[in-house]
A and B are shown apart, each in its own frame.
Chain A
Amino acid sequence: MEQSTRFLILSLEGEHYAFRITSLLEITVPRGIQKDAKLSEIFEGKMNHRNKMIPVVNLKKILKLSGPPGAVLLVMQSSKGILGLLADSVIELLDSTQKPFPMPPGVVDPSLPYFAGVLKDKQGLVLLLSEDGLWP
């Protein structure tokens, strides 16, 4: 039997993106984000998560999308540490037995670390994001 992998599908400005569920620690509401002038502009600030201050990143700023920062906070475990990511909404959990497609060559600069591949859901193509690549 083929092994299935579970992905979290989220929405940013109406388009679907995904993370591997294994890197997700928690889905919550962003509360008490403290601005920190020392952080770069992609950070919304820092937030207390279970007695630990974690950086909170605005995914839309990383991906150069317009719109407000997002009303859902995804707390992710990356190889570089725990990171909070702001998204507009969580859509669903997708179980897929298919391996993600690689991003086709010629689309983005190959040195960009943000995309881990392409998935398909009911609505169409979903860009799989790399939690390690998003860590600034």
Chain B
Amino acid sequence: MTNSYLLFRLAERLFGVRLQGAIEILPWRPSRKVPLAYSYIDGIMDYRGAVYPVFNLTQVLGITRTGQIGFASAETDDIRKGQSIILLQTGKNLYGIIVDSVVKMISLDDAPGEVTTVKGINTNLITGVRNEDGQDVILLSFERLFHAG
């Protein structure tokens, strides 16, 4: 069985997430900060009458961006202004993820891909790695984020 996946880039890697419902892609905008939120929460945002939590994916995945001369680089407003927020749905949960850019939507079969560790990434959310057009696509599922705590 095949399903639609949205591919996006983050910190120069290619990721994919399975689409389960309505999807929106918006230019990055500041979220409403929530005190005492989990460290990977950018905030919450209002979109068309619903409140979405917005996940900072670099934090969720434990990715460190590399700066100009090899040092770790903080997420600056300049980086943020070029980013996008993808609004997704997993089951009943609506949420947003911050990505560097949206690449394309493709169909992939649901046969389990090669689950592997990926260097420099927290593997909790990785469901597999596929090769598409000569590039590794890291497939993610965000279900676990709703059961934190």
A65 near B34 with CB under 8 A, answer: no
Q: Which residues of B contact A105 (CB under 8 A)?
A: 53, 93, 146
Main secondary structure of the interface of A (DSSP, over half): loop
- Distance of A12 Cα from B13 Cα, bound (Å): 38
A64 near B36 with CB under 8 A, answer: yes
Residues 41-70 of chain A: 1 if any B CB is under 8 Å from the residue's CB, otherwise 0? 000000000000000000000011100000
Q: Which residues of B contact A101 (CB under 8 A)?
A: 50-51
B93 near A65 with CB under 8 A, answer: no
A104 near B95 with CB under 8 A, answer: yes
- Distance of A127 Cα from B53 Cα, bound (Å): 13
In the complex, whether A2 has a CB less than 8 A from a CB of chain B is: no
Q: Which of B32, B33, B35 has the most CB of A within 10 A?
A: B35
- Distance of A115 Cα from B34 Cα, bound (Å): 10
Residues 116-136 of chain A: 1 if any B CB is under 8 Å from the residue's CB, otherwise 0? 001010001101000000000
Q: Which of B53, B55, B93, B94 has the most CB of A within 10 A?
A: B53
Residues of A within 8 A of B (CB): 15, 63-65, 101, 103-112, 114-115, 118, 120, 124-125, 127
Q: Can you list 15 A-B contacts (CB < 8 A)?
A: A65-B35, A103-B34, A103-B44, A104-B44, A104-B94, A106-B38, A106-B41, A106-B55, A106-B93, A107-B34, A109-B36, A109-B149, A110-B149, A111-B149, A124-B32
